[in-house]
Structure 1
Amino acid sequence: MNGGAVRLVAVNGGLSEPSSTRMLIDRMTAAVTDALGEREVAVEVDVIDLRGLAVDLGRAMTVGFASGQARAALDAVESAAALIVASPVFNASYSGLFKMFFDLVDVDAMVGKPVLVAAAGGSPRHSMVLDHALRPLFSYLRTVVVPTGVYAASEDWAGAESAGGLSRRIDRAANELAGLVEPRATSRPASNTRTRADDVRHDARGTGPDVRQQAIEAAGIANFARLLGPS
């Protein structure tokens, strides 16, 4: 990042207005910004509300490519240093609009990208959507999903929270994401020298399926090694 601000992009899959999913996005974005601020990392935040892109996304799925605001949103996600993503729970999974958006991203651009996953629903019983739906999706996209996912049920928005309540989960997840973003923002050399992971990702483009798969796997391993730092 050459000492500049890191770009944090939050994707809100909520469809209603007002939206509990958007409220969750706002709280997580603020927590991650604070966590990075404590590490003296400047942050540039971009929140994408998929509700306003529904028509563009539907058109993109039918014609095979995105344009207009949908293309700009995809570019923002693909170029982000880290992502916060949240969806309402629909039939024990994420919303169709949320899936439609991430079906259009460039998989190669997602390799090694830190992601915080979250969901909002009416009942705590739906919290497994994080592990059964969201984590598999972002594992397929070769991202690095932080250990703590955040699920917010209706009861989390009212009354006093328990010791393991929503605020505690958000803070823990925010610090995990900040820990992955910080090395990418502060330890990269000021020169234009690329890391091995960047080279592998670049080489993955324009190659056959087998070579691309091997390159993507190598990029993921290289990113994990870089995030872990020196032993």
Structure 2
Amino acid sequence: MCLIVTVNGSPREGGRTAALLRETADAVCRQVGGARVDEVSLAAEWKDVFSGLWRPQISEQAEQVVQRAEQADLLIIGSPIYRGSYTGLLKHYFDLVDRAVMVGKKAIITGTGGSPLHGLALEHAFRPLMGFFNIQTVATALYGVETDFDDVVIRSDLLRARIKRAAGEAADLLEVSQRAAPAVEAAL
């Protein structure tokens, strides 16, 4: 079974970022049989995530929240864009994640913002963060602005088409990983 974990870096529960993450996870599930989705909402978990600056200092609850990303086969990571990048909440969460455990994982990066110009944060901030962890991101990044939504419902056909494309790319990466896993294990 494929475990998809969405990580919502928004300091606010619900909202457009959560809607984009949920819609993307649903699109991947339609293409990957037997997938299970687990949601990490940092708006709900922030007190535990900020219970320490380093992993040994965090609470038991925070440890469980961090481990959820480490256990994922596919991460779908999203954040509203603040000051040209992801939120500090999302950055602190990834500061706690074990880099060695993340090597080879797959991810879809997503963001929401007030201006189309902020979409570049996906390429200039999100991808380098994923690269630090050696997480393979799909080629299609997802970015939505206020006009793409009716409150928290995605209305843009263009954004929906990009979600479908990103989901297909993720499904392909997951399939290749699953086929390669027995060969890699046999070589070890």
Q: Give the TM-score of the pair, scaled to structure 2.
A: 0.90
Mapping of 1:23-102 within 5 angstroms?
23-36=19-32, 41-61=33-53, 64-102=56-94
Q: Quick check: 1:6 aligned with 2:2?
A: yes
Other-structure match for 1:144 = 136
| 1:1-231 superposed matches below 5 A | 5-36=1-32, 41-61=33-53, 64-158=56-150, 161=156, 165-185=158-178, 188-189=181-182, 194=185
Could you list the runs of 5+ residues in structure 2 that have no partner in the other structure? none
**CA distance change for structure 1 residues 98 and 63 in 2, over 3 Å: closer, same or farther?**
closer
Q: Helix, strand or coil for the counterpart of 2:4?
A: strand
Q: Using the alignment, how far apart are the partners of 1:144 and 1:73 within structure 2? A: 21
**Greater share of strand:** 2
Would the aligned equivalents of 1:14 and 1:20 in 2 still touch at CA under 8 Å? Answer: no
Report the Cα distance in structure 2 between the residues aligned to 1:63 and 1:80, rounded to whole angstroms.
19
Once the 2 structures are TM-superposed, how far is the Cα of residue 53 of structure 1 from its aligned partner?
A: 1.6
Q: CA RMSD in A?
A: 2.1
Using the TM superposition, give the Cα deviation of residue 18 of structure 1 relative to its aligned residue in structure 2, in angstroms. 3.4
Alpha carbons 1:87, 1:94 under 8 Å: kept:
yes
Conserved 8 A contact 1:48-1:73: yes
Cα contact 1:32–1:175 (8 A) shared by 2: yes
Alpha-carbon deviation of 1:187?
5.6
Q: Distance in 1 between matches of 2:159 and 2:147?
A: 10
Question: For each residue in 1:151-188, what CA deviation from the matched residue of structure 2 results, as whole angstroms up to 9, or x when unmatched?
Answer: 011111149635xx110111111110111112334564
Taking the aligned partners of 2:69 and 2:40, their CA distance within structure 1 comes to 9
8 A contact 1:119–1:152 mirrored in 2: yes
Kept in 2, the 8 Å contact 1:14–1:88? The answer is yes
Helix, strand or coil at the partner of 1:72: helix
What is the CA–CA distance in structure 1 between the aligned matches of 2:74 and 2:41, rounded to whole Å?
17
Assess, with a 3 A threshold, how the Cα gap between structure 1 residues 143 and 129 changes in structure 2: closer, same or farther: same
Task: Indicate conservation of the 8 Å contact 1:21/1:120, yes or no.
Answer: yes
What is the total number of aligned residue pairs between the two structures? 185
Identity of aligned residues (%): 34
Q: Deviations over 1:192-230 (max 9, x none)?
A: x8265xx6xxxxxxxxxxxxxxxxxxxxxxxxxxxxxxx
Structure 1, unmatched stretches of 5+, are: 200-231
Classify 1:181/1:63 alpha carbon distance in 2 versus 1 (closer, same or farther; 3 Å): closer
- The CA deviation at 1:64 is 4.5
Runs of 4 or more, structure 1, over 4 Å off, are none
